[in-house]
A and B are shown apart, each in its own frame.
Chain A
Amino acid sequence: AQKVTQAQTEISVVEKEDVTLDCVYETRDTTYYLFWYKQPPSGELVFLIRRNSFDEQNEISGRYSWNFQKSTSSFNFTITASQVVDSAVYFCALSEANYGQNFVFGPGTRLSVLP
């Protein structure tokens, strides 16, 4: 069955520090998609990235980078030089291509970036 684990419940860092948010997933499918979403205090979930299971290349977008490793079923998210505006709850999510259409979300990691 699908499952997403985010072991870090809360993380606090000081501005300009780098921080990595961990995500481990379980799936029975060979084709699946992984996502990261950000939920700022305003509450609306904001899409950050989508990766498919066949593309293990790491990705960088500005201060954000993602490390996808199928061997360890992990899809970790790193914020470089964190800023106060990065404070939010971050969710990792999984969608299987062949076993239903729902997206399964992890419990989230609350990131607080202190000035």
Chain B
Amino acid sequence: DTGVSQDPRHKITKRGQNVTFRCDPISEHNRLYWYRQTLGQGPEFLTYFQNEAQLEKSRLLSDRFSAERPKGSFSTLEIQRTEQGDSAMYLCASSPSDEKLFFGSGTQLSVL
């Protein structure tokens, strides 16, 4: 068990470009969450998967954001036409139930 893995750790992009992040949850965890954290704030919920089904999406997730979890294993979060306001730490977490979340180290996105 290597924990939740996120790739890349850092991403610098120019405004208007598309970016994609990957999350590999702890194996056999059926729940997977994406959160966004900006400096000095707590994590904000973006979306949640149970297996391959995306069951809940936050209003924060505009139509430029899309997340997938094919086959209920790893997940990707894509941001299209990035804006400077998208700069943040994107956190992935997995859980075997609603007991607790296991977080990855996050992907730090900087949009120039």
For B99, give its contact among A43, A50, A91 (CB under 8 Å): A50
Smallest distance from the beta carbon of A75 to chain B beta carbons, Å? 15
- Name the residue on A nearest B57 (C-beta): A102
Smallest distance from the beta carbon of B41 to chain A beta carbons, Å? 6
Q: From known contacts A102-B33, A103-B33, infer whether A47 and B48 are also in contact, taking CB-CB under 8 Å.
A: no
Flag the segment in A13-21, A56-64, A105-113 that touches B: A105-113
Smallest distance from the beta carbon of A100 to chain B beta carbons, Å? 6
Chain B residues with a Cβ closer than 8 Å to the other chain, count? 26
Q: Once the chains are docked, how many angstroms separate the CA of A4 from the CA of B103?
A: 19
Binding site for B on A (CB under 8 A): 4, 33, 35, 37, 42-47, 50, 91, 93, 95, 97, 100-108
- Name the residue on B nearest A105 (C-beta): B42
What are the 9 closest A-B residue pairs judged by CB atoms, nearest first? A105-B42, A102-B45, A45-B103, A105-B43, A44-B105, A47-B100, A107-B42, A108-B42, A50-B100
Q: Mark B38-56, 1 if CB is under 8 A from A, else 0.
A: 0011111100101000011
For A43, give its contact among B44, B50, B93, B105 (CB under 8 Å): B105
**B58 CB-CB contact with A under 8 Å:** yes
Pairwise interchain contact B33-A91, C-beta atoms closer than 8 A: no
**B65 CB-CB contact with A under 8 Å:** no
Q: Once the chains are docked, how many angstroms separate the CA of A98 from the CA of B104?
A: 26
- Name the residue on B nearest A92 (C-beta): B42
Q: From known contacts A43-B106, A50-B100, A95-B98, infer whether A107 and B45 are also in contact, taking CB-CB under 8 Å.
A: no
Smallest distance from the beta carbon of A3 to chain B beta carbons, Å? 11
